[in-house]
Each structure stands twice: as C-alpha cells, then as structure tokens.
Copies of this chain bind each other. A is one copy, B any other.
Amino acid sequence: MEYKKLDTEDINYIERLIGDQERILYGTEINEEYSHDELSDTASYPDLVVKVTSTEEVSAIMKYAYEKNIPVTPRGAGTGLVGASVAIEHGIMLDTSLMNHFLELDEDNLTLTVEPGVLLMELAAYVEERGFFYPPDPGEKSATIGGNISTNAGGMRAVKYGVTRDYVRGLEVVLPDGRVVEFGGKIVKNSTGYALKDLIIGSEGTLGIITKATLKILPLPKKAISLLIPFPTLQKAIGTVPLIIKSRAIPTAIEFMQREVIIDAEKYLGKKFPDSRADAYLLLKFDGNSTEEIEKDYECVARICLEQGAVDILISDTNEREESIWKARGAFLEAIKGSTTYMDEVDVVVPRSSVNEMVEYIHDLYKEVNVRIKSFGHAGDGNLHAYILKDDLSEQEWEEKMKAAMDRIYGKARELKGQVSGEHGIGYAKKSYLMESLDPAAVEIMKGIKQAFDPKNILNPHKVCQL
C-alpha cells in the first residue's frame, strides 16, 4: 500500500481544523516518547502529533486522512508493551490523552461514561470515592481506559470478575473514514446483529478509534482482605492453585511471585516488602460485603495452603498493609526493567491447570538458552508475564537468545493449548507469533475483518494481523 507523505498543505489543513497550535506537534517538536511505547524496541516517529480533544476532531482528521490516504496511529498513554501505538508508517498520530473527562455516572443503570484518555488510576479513584467499583485491575495504572479496551486488558481481579471486555457496555467509535458510530449502549443485553462492540475491544486501534466508552460498574464491595503466603518453592506455590480453585472458594485474585522479583521491587520502591524470607509466594485477595462472608472463604484457602506446605499465612487487613503489598506487585514490571539494561516480554496465557508446567518450563529455560528470565503473573487465570533480560549481552547475542527463548516459550504455550497474549495484545512485536499460533483460516478472517472496517488500511497499519 502506498501512503501519501504528509506535506505542508496537509499540515496547514489540520492546523486550521484544530485551530490551536499548542495541540499540534511536528518535526523537532515531537518528543522522543512519541516514537515508541513502554517496552518494545519497535520505534518510528509520526510526522505529526495531534492532541485531540473531541470526537469531532478525531472524525474530521480521519475523514481527511482517509480521503488523502494518510496513515493514522492512535495513542493513549503509551504504556503498551508490543508496539501497537507506534507510527510504523509515520503520518498522523492522534494522542487521546487530553480526552480525559468523566462524562456521566449513571447510578440507575450502574454505568460510567468516560472519554478514552481517562487513566485507569483516575477511573478507579473516581468510582471508589462514590462507592462504586470498576473491577478490571491491570498492573499499569497509568494506562488509559481507551488503551485498556483496545487490548482487552485483564489484570489481577480476572479470577473473580473477568476482564475489560466484560465491563464495556457501549463504545463510540470513529471509523477509518471518519464516520462516527455507536456500538452497544447502556443496555445490559444485546443480540442485535454481529458483535461489533466486542470486535473493537482488543483490536488495538486497528479497526476504529474509541472516543467514548460506557462502562459497567458495580457497588463497591465493603470488605477486602489479602493473604500473602510464603512457600518453600515456586512449584509448591503454584501447585496449590488448582486445589484453591477446586475448593470452590472464589478469590478475587491469585498472583504468584518469586523472591528475586520482590527484591527488585523493594529496590525500585525503596521500601521493604512485608516478607521476603521465602523463595516463592502466593498473593490472594478476597472481597465481599461482610467480614464473615470472606472469612469463610479465606480460612478454607489458608488451610489448603498450609496443607500444601506453605511456611506461613500473612493476613493483610489494614489499608496500609494492603497498599504496601499491592503497590509492590504493581511495580514489578518497572522493577524488573530497572534491574537490567534492556528486556522483552512474553504474555502467554494457558489453561489454569497448566500454569505450573508453563512456569517450570520458563524457569528452566535459562539452562537451555543461557539468558536470564524473570517471571510473575496471574496464577489464578493462567496469564504469565515473563521478561527476558539483556543484561550485558551484545546486540547479536541478545537477538539470538531472545528469539530462541521466545520461540520456545510460545511453542510450549501452544502445546499446552494456550495463546500468545493474555492481555498485552499483539501490536507490532508479536505478529509473527500470532501468525504461527493461529489457524491460517482465522488469520484470513481477521484480514477480511480489517478490510471491512478499513478498506484503505490507513488506520494503524502493520499491526495485529497485517504484515
């Protein structure tokens, strides 16, 4: 596909359209940040960045870009890990971070309508102050909700509450040709034609640009408690998870972590973690409306853990302690990043019953590939985050070892009937693994869907299923 290269006429047109020079960046005004996301080594500058403030602006720019055949890349907070928001073909970048308004809290329908640039941490605080609860809880709190929807982010509470998809009732979307459409609404049920709303969710900005989202919220559970449970080995920790699931207790979250990652987090935050004696930990959360209700559940789970060889059960029932534990958990990615020169990540998801096999495989991989790998993740939902560390490897060694490690990890995930990504998406960096893992028929259909939404392929080209 030949795209039009942005020229002065285009820039002038967009300047007139936006009418606010402050919100348009080009040339050397474009900060290096705009050339990449949080992790991927995918890097490419847009020709022009527009900090959009309304659906109308997004629509007008898309109309123009569609007509002129100019590629457009949407971007939220840039916290992605797979290069989905990188302007591979340059062109226009639409930065949605100024579209960060809360539009409506509807207590009758239990919905919250927001613009896409609202940050997850702002959203959580907003609803909790008002006695409500937005369950999806990805580690990266400074991501935008638009980005969370675009990757169908899962987060830590997926065990009990599900993922972002389960909390999106309606979307306003600007299509590649600039038309504005609404999919879904405030309605609870919908069987009105194909599931276009669900297709936009997780499509990583390739099918349309989300300009408004109506989210399902819940009443805030009145009580929450966490258990930090040290185990002598990682294997024993993770081996306990299927027994917890089988016990029919329903924890909100089941995370696993290892001492080395905890120590990274302590260094990164400059704060002690409540415990770091053991090699491995499970961190569980329970919530509900009364202490008795959650006590019954967690007592049963604590007993199971002790039977399986847990060293101790640390109950966290104060806000301070809760915060210190979950803050450390939330800092793992940054902490690991700080412990090496460079890294890349895998975000595989496997059936819960195969987490132990997958984790052990990753753990032993350094023997075969001779590269440091650290991992943590969502033991309760099968989604593992593993980080392959460059340390002081040469570029060439790094490329070789990183690829060897990735190939093996994705291969193992396939063998266990898992998938390439649990929540980070495919973006640019994971395309080859998507192609390998999916049935060619599925890839063909995905390409056909892209064609149906974006026949000129101007929106976020080269992402997900587009070579």
Contacts and interface: CB of A to CB of B under 8 A. Distances in A.
A422 B186 contact: no
Contact of A187 (B207, B292, B419): B419
A326 to B, nearest CB: 19
A141 interface: no
Interface string A137-172: 000000000000001111000110011011000000
Interface in A151-209: 151-154, 158-159, 162-163, 165-166, 175, 179, 181-183, 185-196, 198-199, 201-203, 207
Given A199-B198, A441-B181, A191 B424 contact: yes
Nearest to A204: B191
Contacts of A110: 245
A31 interface: no
Nearest to A184: B419
Contacts of A446: 193-194, 196
A218 B161 CA distance: 12
A191 B245 contact: no
A242 interface: yes
B422 A185 contact: no
A364 interface: no
Contacts of A193: 426, 434, 438, 442-443, 446, 464-465
A64 interface: no
B191 A351 contact: no
A128 interface: no
Contact of A192 (B109, B289, B292, B421): B421
Given A421-B191, A434-B193, A442 B186 contact: no
Contact of A250 (B183, B219, B383, B437): B219
A107 interface: yes
Interface string A416-430: 011111111110000
A293 interface: yes
Contacts of A181: 439, 441-442
A108 interface: yes
A445 interface: yes
Interface string A345-385: 00101111100000000000000000000000010011100
Nearest to A106: B353
A438 B193 CA distance: 9
Contacts of A449: 194, 199, 448-449, 452
Contacts of A381: 188-189
Nearest to A107: B246
A432 interface: no
A146 B421 CA distance: 27
A187 B441 contact: no
A190 B421 contact: yes
A290 interface: yes
A131 interface: yes
Report which residue of A182, A242, A289 has the largest number of chain B beta carbons within 10 angstroms of its beta carbon.
Answer: A289
Given A108-B245, A181-B442, A442-B181, A194 B423 contact: no
A410 to B, nearest CB: 11
A437 B179 contact: no
Nearest to A443: B193
Contacts of A183: 442
Nearest to A220: B248
Contacts of A159: 188
Contacts of A450: 194
A276 B88 CA distance: 67
Contacts of A439: 179, 181-182
A453 interface: yes
Contacts of A192: 419-421, 426, 434, 437-438
Interface of A: 106-110, 131, 151-154, 158-159, 162-163, 165-166, 175, 179, 181-183, 185-196, 198-199, 201-203, 207, 218-219, 242, 245-246, 248, 250, 289-290, 292-293, 296, 347, 349-353, 378, 381-383, 417-426, 434, 437-439, 441-453, 464-465
Closest 5 CB pairs of A and B: A448-B452, A219-B248, A108-B353, A198-B198, A188-B381
Given A159-B188, A191-B426, A194-B465, 11 more contacts: A154-B191, A162-B166, A166-B166, A183-B442, A185-B351, A185-B418, A186-B417, A189-B381, A193-B426, A199-B449, A289-B293
